[in-house]
Each structure stands twice: as structure tokens, then as C-alpha cells.
Amino acid sequence: MSGERRRPGDRKRVAPRVDLFDERPEDERAAALARDLRVIEALLFTSARPLDAAMLAAHLPPEADVAALMDTLAADYARRGVNVVKAAGGWMLRTAPDLAPVVAARAPEPRRLSRAAIEVLAIVAYHQPVTRAEIEEIRGVSTSKGTLDVLLETGWVRLRGRRKSPGRPVTYGTTPAFLIQFGLDTVQDLPGLDELKGAGLLDARLPGGFAIPLPSDDPHLHDDEEPLEAEPLDFTLSPPPQDDDDGEPD
């Protein structure tokens, strides 16, 4: 993976695209552009989740070019305290990276993951779908069920299915909440080998043949996976109604 890949937080200023076949007067086009941008701005401001093109288009005129509008809005917000960023396949408002320390100082103390949980989360992100036994093989140490339970509770990791192998072990993968938390549009935006080396997270003198897998969070089950069983229905019978003192049923 190339170290030249653009990081998720990077953004280029993009000029609005012009529709050469739009025959409306210039002032009418400008008014329509301003209205569409205000609609998108309001939708982003009131949503706690990323909004994709289809969600935005549902509130815009049929002829609206969502991609062009988002380029325009992102360029305008690039100089503000909050930015329009791609995350989990959609767009959302996030604090400008240089102001993160200011906001963090006023935010509640975040829940901190243990070193083991961070290692397991990284393995799930890069190697998904992955089983607990495969996680332990990669880490070289056993992994407690409690560590995986913590990651499931955060909402960053999910149960995908079961491996078609003896014992049918559960497979794990990441969720859209993981992408949102770490400011990623897709899991492919995770740092590659060169970026990890540059950040000092990997020794520059790695053994020959060492490679970082190309991550994929394809929601569809792989050929070696099968669906999880549906939760069994609760057929527990409720207790029979108790008779009142006068002999009449409740």
C-alpha cells in the first residue's frame, strides 16, 4: 500500500461544477444553489449519523447534483471550526482537526480500551472476517471473551456469521460506527504499511515479506462463512391467572 495515499482528514478545495445545459438565468441558478446548500447544511447539522447521497437527494429537487453540492459545501466548510467530511459512505459534520484539543478539553472522559482490546480491534479491522482463534494466532497470545465483549459493547465490532469449519466458530467484523469513530469513509482508508512506519507504529526494519493486508468490510458473507442462527423464540408459558378470594378469575 502506498504511503502517498491521501489521509481521511485531508481535503482539497473544489470549485463548484457548472452545468452547461442549465438554461435558467444566472440569478435563478444562484438562488437554487444557495437553497440546496442550506437544505443539506440543515440535514447534516441535525443528524448524528452520516447521510449518503440517496438520503440527501430525497430532500432536493430531482435535477440536483448531490456530489457537486457536497464538493461546494465541503470547500466552504474547510476554513470553519467544523468540516464536512466523508464517513461510512456518507457525509457528516466533524470538528476541524486542529480544534480537536479544544473540544476534547470540554468533553467527558472517554472510555479507554485496554492494550489487548486495541490490538484485537486492529486485527479485526485489517483481517475481517476473522475468528477468535485466528485473532489469537495473529497476536500470539490467548484472547479472553471479555475483550471481545467490550468491543461488541462499543458498537465498533459485530458478529458477522460462522466459519464453515469444525466447531463453526463465529466471525467478527467492524461496523459503520467504527468508521465514524475513527473518521474513515471506508475501511480501505486505514493506514497502510508506509503510513504505519511513518507514524512510528511499526519498526522500520521489518522482516522480508512482511505485509499489511488490504482490509475489506464487505457486508456480504464470504464463501467460507454461513449466517448466524436466528435467536430462538421464547415459548415460556406465563403463569395461569390466580383466582380472587370470591372465586372469580382475574
CATH (domain of 179): 1.10.10.10
> Which candidate, 162, 154, 113, places its Cα nearest to that of 133?
162
Residue 33 pLDDT grade (very low, low, confident, very high; cuts 50, 70, 90): confident
Q: Rounded distance, CA 32 to CA 34, Å?
A: 5
Total count of domains within the chain: 2
Percent of the chain exceeding pLDDT 90 equals 39
pTM here is: 0.63
Is 148 domain-assigned? Answer: yes
Q: State which residues form the domain around 208.
A: 115-226
Percent of the chain exceeding pLDDT 70 equals 73
Q: What is the pLDDT of residue 39?
A: 94
Both 90 and 134 in one domain: the answer is no
Is 233 domain-assigned? Answer: no
Which amino acid is present at 7?
A: R
Residue 209 pLDDT grade (very low, low, confident, very high; cuts 50, 70, 90): low
Is 248 domain-assigned? Answer: no
Is 249 domain-assigned? Answer: no
Is 61 domain-assigned? Answer: yes
Both 138 and 96 in one domain: the answer is no
Is 238 domain-assigned? Answer: no
Both 98 and 127 in one domain: the answer is no
Is 65 domain-assigned? Answer: yes
User: Pick from 81, 104, 127: which residue ends a domain?
Assistant: 104
| Cα atoms found within 13 Å of the Cα of residue 216, Cβ hemisphere only | 8
Is 245 domain-assigned? Answer: no
The most confident of 46-50, 109-113, 169-173, 195-199, by mean pLDDT: 169-173
Residue 237 pLDDT grade (very low, low, confident, very high; cuts 50, 70, 90): low
pLDDT at 57 over 90: yes
Q: Rounded distance, CA 93 to CA 97, Å?
A: 12
Decide: residue 190, CB within 10 A, 0-12 exposed, 13-18 middle, 19+ buried: buried
Q: Rounded distance, CA 43 to CA 79, Å?
A: 20
Yes or no: say if 126 and 195 are a contact pair by the CB < 8 Å rule: no
User: Pick from 74, 104, 134: which residue ends a domain?
Assistant: 104
Both 86 and 164 in one domain: the answer is no
Lowest mean pLDDT among 68-72, 113-117, 140-144, 234-238: 234-238
